[in-house]
Structure 1
């Protein structure tokens, strides 16, 4: 059995690590593959660093398609490693279509994610969500207990939305986001300023996301945009990936020249 206390010391991802420990112990006991719920792919990769020295287990990160921003972690015994194609084939998720006429009432990924939460899905059961122009959205959800959603009609604000559950290969997978280097000059190294530049979102909207708990710094939810950042800090925004600070340099005019990478 894995020592829970040892792995949780000083971790920024205690909840996610505890879940992975639990399924790892189940995998060790029952000789089968177990999956976590959905988390940011970045978080999945970060917490697996805590498990590098555990020789009894192997892990696999997947979110339904190669560049997914939300993923699950599969855990299996080191002496019972499944084929990767089989893991993908048996990935415990389904596609979801959310169809509606949003020509005069634009809706965002966050709006559709909220619609699913309001109708019984917890966040860990919701993978990537992406909009399909003004006709609604598609996404990936956990395959358990979703029968009540299929063919049902809900309302997002005043727009009627019909839900359909489909196989993953029926989805129109979005184009993957590649890594992007960003160079910017800011008056300060404040979190709200750097997040605004990194995610290409206004500072007002960044502050709104901070207030609603959608923004994390090095894995921890923050409530203030005034925190000063340093090289190596990683800022994560729900549904938008994360940015990492690669370099900070004061200019002659006492402004900050900042180099970021967005993933």
Structure 2
């Protein structure tokens, strides 16, 4: 069995790390594959660094499609090999379609996520959610205890919506983004400045998104645009992917040369 206290002592994500330790113990005992709940893909990758020296286990991060921003971690014994194709085909999740007319009442990814949570789906059972124009949203949720949602009607503010539980192959999966290096020069290392340059969104709009809690810094929601960033920081913006800060360098004119990786 794994020593929980030893692994948790230096973890920045104790709850998520504790969950992974628990399923690793189950995988070791029962010789089966177990999955965590959904978390930010960034957090999944970060907590796995704590498990690099556990040679008895293998792990796999997946969220239903290759560029998912929220994922689950599969854990299985090293001597109970599970190949990638099998893990994907047996991924424990379903699709959810949320259909409604939002032409005159725009809704965000977080609005639809809150709607699911408000109707009995815990946060760790909800994967990616993405909007489908003004017709609602689609997403990925844990496949357990969700049939009560199927073909039911709910309200998001004043808009009546219908939930439909479907197979993952019935979803309109968002187009994956290829990795892209971005070089820019900014007046500061402030969150709003670098996020605006990296996500190609105006400063005003990025500040609005930050203040509304739509941007995550290193997996955590932030609502202050004046936070100074550092090399290695990762930003995640709803429906816009990830940005990682690769380099920051002050110039002779006291501006900042910034190198970013967007994916």
The secondary structure found in structure 1 opposite 2:150 is: coil
User: Which position in structure 1 is the counterpart of 2:5?
Assistant: 5
The secondary structure found in structure 1 opposite 2:149 is: coil
For the pair 1:244 / 2:244, whether they are aligned, the reply is yes
Q: Mapping of 1:197-208 within 5 angstroms?
A: 197-203=197-203, 206-207=206-207
User: Which position in structure 1 is the counterpart of 2:139?
Assistant: 139
- Could you tell which deviates more after superposition, 22-31 or 223-232? 223-232
User: Which position in structure 1 is the counterpart of 2:105?
Assistant: 105
Q: Mapping of 1:211-226 within 5 angstroms?
A: 215-220=215-220, 222=222, 224-226=224-226
**Structure 2 CA distance, aligned partners of 1:215 and 1:174?**
19
Q: Mapping of 1:77-88 within 5 angstroms?
A: 77-88=77-88
Normalised by the length of structure 2, the TM-score is 0.90
State whether residues 150 and 164 of structure 2, in contact with CA within 8 Å, keep that contact through their aligned partners in structure 1: yes
**Structure 2 CA distance, aligned partners of 1:181 and 1:41?**
20
The secondary structure found in structure 2 opposite 1:86 is: helix
How far did 1:83 drift? 3.2
- Could you tell which deviates more after superposition, 141-150 or 193-202? 193-202
Q: Mapping of 1:81-230 within 5 angstroms?
A: 81-203=81-203, 206-207=206-207, 210=210, 215-220=215-220, 222=222, 224-230=224-230
How far did 1:151 drift? 0.7
How far did 1:211 drift? 5.1
- The structure-2 alpha-carbon separation of the partners of 1:165 and 1:124, relative to structure 1 and needing over 3 Å to count, comes to same
**Structure 2 CA distance, aligned partners of 1:221 and 1:171?**
27
User: Which position in structure 2 is the counterpart of 1:18?
Assistant: 18
User: Which position in structure 2 is the counterpart of 1:255?
Assistant: 255
**Structure 2 CA distance, aligned partners of 1:157 and 1:221?**
23
**Structure 1 CA distance, aligned partners of 2:14 and 2:214?**
17
- Could you tell which deviates more after superposition, 240-249 or 13-22? 240-249
State whether residues 94 and 143 of structure 1, in contact with CA within 8 Å, keep that contact through their aligned partners in structure 2: yes
User: Which position in structure 1 is the counterpart of 2:56?
Assistant: 56
Normalised by the length of structure 1, the TM-score is 0.90
Structure 1: state its 5+ residue gaps. Answer: none
How far did 1:209 drift? 5.2
How far did 1:210 drift? 4.9
The secondary structure found in structure 1 opposite 2:229 is: coil
Count of aligned pairs between the two proteins: 263
User: Which position in structure 2 is the counterpart of 1:30?
Assistant: 30
How far did 1:60 drift? 1.2
